[in-house]
Amino acid sequence: MSLRPTAVTGSFLSVVAFLLTAAPAPAAPADQGAGAGAAAPAAAPSVPAPEAPEAPEAPEAPEAPEAPEAPAAPDAPAAPAAPRPGGVVPVAHRGASAYAPENTLAAADKADELGITWVENDVQRTKDGELIVMHDETLSRTTDVEEVFPDRAPWKVTDFTAAEIDRLDAGSWFDARYAGEGVPTLTEFLDTITANNQKLLLEIKKPELYPGIERDILRELRKEGWLDRRHLRTRLAVQTFDAASLRRVHELKPEVKTGFLGTPKVADLPRYAAFADQVNPRYTTVTAEYVDAVHATRGPSGRPLELFTWTVDDADTAARMAGLGVDGIISNRPDVVRDAARGRS
């Protein structure tokens, strides 16, 4: 069938077709905001939308990954290689035990005479549950127990009552001047250092032998007024070689400053930091890198861990430890440590 009956008709149809197709074009801009028909895509190319791909330039913000270089913050804790604020703390090991019998009231008093504020002691428990200040598991090295109770070998602390231990001489073995010096109870020791206005680094000795000793110690400290805010903040710390025992202390009284005795691997420091405020290694294991690693780790209080090293008795080693940035040095000769550390500052 032909669509061209006449030339006029064909021309007329062409004109109509032209008008119909041309008319929508001017209407398209008005419809664009509503998302009208196919005319909109034609207009889109003229819009600078294609230039939006410059947004991918935002990916240059990935220069934020350079923030990882801000790990300069973690480097801040490395500053402790310099002397610590307030200087190195000298701690009298078992009292001033180079000058008086260890773990006695005389040793605490001697530390006070020397001007030493911090005193370390060891705590164990007698057969009848009394807390006493004694380092060894047995009584034989530092008392006359073998003479007083010759048939009670091996003279373990756990085999004697507090009254029996009270009969012992804990001073003569050191020097005749200290004859009659006794084994103090924890209560007596606390009374003495309170009178001297001293501070206490208390070591739980052999906690595996004394189930529940952590609770007993805290109970005694509370009774003697040593768990108030003043003591908790600046005058008391509890340490031990036994991680499980130290964790129990922290769980029972999180406010008590705690110290782990030993040298954990650097990778393990965060695990110890869950319950220890200090890491206290033997001085032969201390390096500048280890001190920095300890100080770069935050303890349960949110503050950097402290490091108290032991047992340093000579000036050269004390000066070297101070130069490494340790926080404290435990010593039988705390006056020697104090003077050597001051010589560096």
Q: Which amino acid is at 286?
A: V
Active-site hit among 135, 231, 250, 295? 135
Rounded to an integer, what distance in angstroms lies between the CA atom of residue 301 and that of residue 20?
Answer: 81
Structure tokens at 124: 């164990």
Rounded to an integer, what distance in angstroms lies between the CA atom of residue 293 and that of residue 120?
Answer: 25
Residues ≥6 apart with Cβ < 8 Å to 16: none
Asked whether 282 and 264 are in contact (CB, 8 A), the reply is no
Rounded to an integer, what distance in angstroms lies between the CA atom of residue 19 and that of residue 342?
Answer: 102
The partner residues of 310 in beta bridges, in order of sequence, read 282
Rounded (to 5) percent helix, strand, coil in the chain: 50, 15, 35
Rounded to an integer, what distance in angstroms lies between the CA atom of residue 327 and that of residue 304?
Answer: 11
Verify whether residue 93 is a known catalytic residue.
yes
Residues ≥6 apart with Cβ < 8 Å to 137: 124, 156, 157, 205, 206, 209
Give, as one character, the DSSP assignment of residue 286: -
The partner residues of 118 in beta bridges, in order of sequence, read 91, 199
Rounded to an integer, what distance in angstroms lies between the CA atom of residue 307 and that of residue 292?
Answer: 10
Verify whether residue 295 is a known catalytic residue.
no
Active site residues: 93, 135
